[in-house]
Amino acid sequence: MRYLPRKRSERQQNIINAVEDFCGDDGTSLRNKTNAALWLMGRKKGIELNEDEKYIVWYVDLNLCDEVYRKSLLSESL
């Protein structure tokens, strides 16, 4: 299993927050969240997404296009 970066840029933190916001406490495994976040960061080597992860990537990518949503994610992490 691959790990999320320790020193995160603003963009990487936005992606992680968005995946957490989307998945919440719905029972999504940590592996699914991590794979989706890494895929969105462009770190695709060695990752094959399953259907749940593909849906997470699609939905989060769609939401990250919205500037207001991105700014709200940053204010949550502070």
18-35 pLDDT, tens per residue?
999 999 887 788 999 999
In the structure, what pLDDT confidence band is assigned to residue 78 with cuts at 50, 70 and 90?
low
Distance CA 60, CA 15 (A): 8
Average pLDDT along the chain: 90
Distance CA 71, CA 74 (A): 5
Q: Give me the amino acid identity at 20.
A: E
Asked if 16 contacts 4 with a C-beta cutoff of 8 angstroms, the reply is: yes
